[in-house]
């Protein structure tokens, strides 16, 4: 059974810092991995999707990497801003391509 | 391009009642998935519908059921509501196999069971 873990659960940083959010998964037979952002009480916004054959994806200040062999993914946020404050969730999609299996998220607070 | 929409935004029910939640998929998407997110937890997969057929189900009891319509919109029905059903219910649409594996989520329906 696939399990996804995110560390740390919460993170507070001053504006301008570069930071790394970690995600680990137990079953390396994933179809792809997706990172999301969730603002309080809101739905999920897709940030990056990494196909199982890829090693990383970039969008603006965000870079996500995937290492299937070690069961890890990282989300790198460069030059953090207060507007980046949110909960970041990673999710592994199963081989059938149906279910997203989520971690509990990392809640990020960026202070100005 | 219209995004994923859900209705209602909030709902309050009492234990034992039944509820129907609705989701309209993003234009061009033929697959809808439903998730339950309890407070402080990540979303949990309920089931997925592809071209009006159930295409995968998570660890939820049969009182959670769904439908998908020819226009690919979807309903989630929950019978015999329990207090633990209080959660944010999210639907996501996608179009697998068309280079669109990304799932796009709606804003969610907040269900409170008293």
Q: Which residues contact A31 (CB under 8 A, 6 or more apart)?
A: A52, A93, A94, A95, A96, A97, B101
Interface list for B 92-111 with A (CB within 8 A): 92, 96, 101-108, 110
- pLDDT for residue B1: 56
- Which of the pair, A99 or B109, is modelled with greater confidence? B109
B78 vs A97 pLDDT, higher one: B78
List the single best residue of A3, A43, A59, A89 to mutate versus B (max B Cβ within 10 A): A43
What's the pLDDT band for A24 if we cut at 50, 70, 90? very high
Q: CA A78, CA A80: separation in Å to the nearest integer?
A: 6
Residue B15 Cα, gap to closest chain A Cα (Å): 23
Task: Please report residues of B whose CB lies closer than 8 A to that of A31.
Answer: 101
| pLDDT given at position B84 | 97
Inter-chain residue contact B43 with A41, CB threshold 8 Å: no
Distances in Å between the Cα of B50 and the Cα atoms of A64, B3, B27, B40, B94 are 29, 18, 15, 29, 9
Query: Whose CA is closest to A62, among A42, A81, A43, A38?
Result: A81
Low-confidence ranges of chain B (pLDDT < 50): 98-100
Which pLDDT does position A64 carry in this prediction?
A: 97
B60 at interface of A, judged by CB pairs closer than 8 A: no
Q: Between B42, B96, B106, which is nearest A89 by CB?
A: B42
The average pLDDT across A48-75 equals 93
- Residue A35, judged by CB atoms within 10 A of its CB (0-12, 13-18, 19+), counts as buried
| pLDDT, position B99 | 45
Residue B9 near residue B111 (C-beta atoms within 8 A): no
pLDDT at site B97: 61
Cβ of A43 within 8 Å of Cβ of B90? The answer is yes
In chain A, what percentage of residues exceed pLDDT 70? 100
Confidence at A22, pLDDT banded by 50, 70, 90: very high
Task: Tell me the residues of chain A between 14 and 73 that have a Cβ less than 8 Å away from chain B.
Answer: 31-32, 34, 36, 41-46, 49, 51
Continuous segment of H or E residues that includes residue A69: none
The verdict on a CB contact (< 8 Å) between A104 and B105 is no
**Quick check: A1 pLDDT over 90?**
no
Q: Residues near B103 by Cβ (< 8 Å), separated by ≥ 6?
A: A34, A46, A100, B33, B92, B93, B94
């Amino acid at each position: 059974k696939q399990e996804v873990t995110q560390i740390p659960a919460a993170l507070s940083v001053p504006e301008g810092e570069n930071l790394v959010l970690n995600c680990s998964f137990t079953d390396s037979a994933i179809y792809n991995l997706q990172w999301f952002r969730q603002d309080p009480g809101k739905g999920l916004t897709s940030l990056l999707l990494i196909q199982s054959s890829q090693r990383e994806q970039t969008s603006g200040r965000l870079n996500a990497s995937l290492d299937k062999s070690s069961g890890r993914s990282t989300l790198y946020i460069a030059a953090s801003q207060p507007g980046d404050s949110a909960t970041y969730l990673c999710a592994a999609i199963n081989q059938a391509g149906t279910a997203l299996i989520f971690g509990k998220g990392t809640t990020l607070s960026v202070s100005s | 391009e219209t995004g994923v929409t859900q209705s209602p935004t909030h709902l309050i029910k009492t234990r034992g009642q039944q509820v129907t939640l609705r989701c309209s998929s993003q234009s061009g998407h033929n697959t809808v998935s439903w998730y339950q997110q309890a407070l402080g937890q990540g979303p949990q997969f309920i089931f997925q519908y592809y071209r009006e057929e159930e295409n995968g189900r998570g660890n939820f009891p049969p009182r959670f059921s769904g439908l998908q319509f020819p226009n690919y919109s979807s309903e989630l029905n929950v019978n015999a509501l329990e207090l633990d059903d209080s959660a944010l219910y999210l639907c996501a649409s996608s179009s697998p196999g068309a280079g669109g594996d990304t799932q796009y989520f709606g804003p969610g329906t907040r269900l409170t069971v008293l």
